[in-house]
Amino acid sequence: MSGERARLVIALKHERWVLDRVACDLAGGRATARQCAETAVVLERVARRLREHAAAVSFGGGAVDGVVDAGVLGDEGGAR
């Protein structure tokens, strides 16, 4: 496994823990506005890294002007 892939795997496993925690806090009525906002940042960061990885795997590309299109999303925005 390459260094970048290993870092992505570690990040995903860590963020899964963060998501599990906020899900429990939401269910129990304990989630704060800050916790929700910070979790949204985590999700955005993970989504960006996954898109970048998909682009690299798909066609050896990456971000162009801050946008990654791995050719896997349809016009409707859903995965094919």
What distances in angstroms separate CA 73 from CA 37, 44, 70, 79, one per listed residue? 26, 17, 7, 5
pTM across the whole model: 0.65
- Distance between CA 26 and CA 7 in Å, rounded? 28
Which of the listed ranges 3-7, 11-15, 54-58, 65-69 does the model predict with the highest average pLDDT?
11-15
**1-18: average pLDDT:** 87
Looking at residue 52, its pLDDT comes to 87
Cβ contacts of residue 73 below 8 Å, gap of 6+?
79, 80
> Within 10 A of 69 (CB to CB), how many other CB atoms are there?
14
Give tens-digit pLDDT for 10-58. 989 989 999 999 999 999 999 999 999 999 999 999 999 998 888 888 7
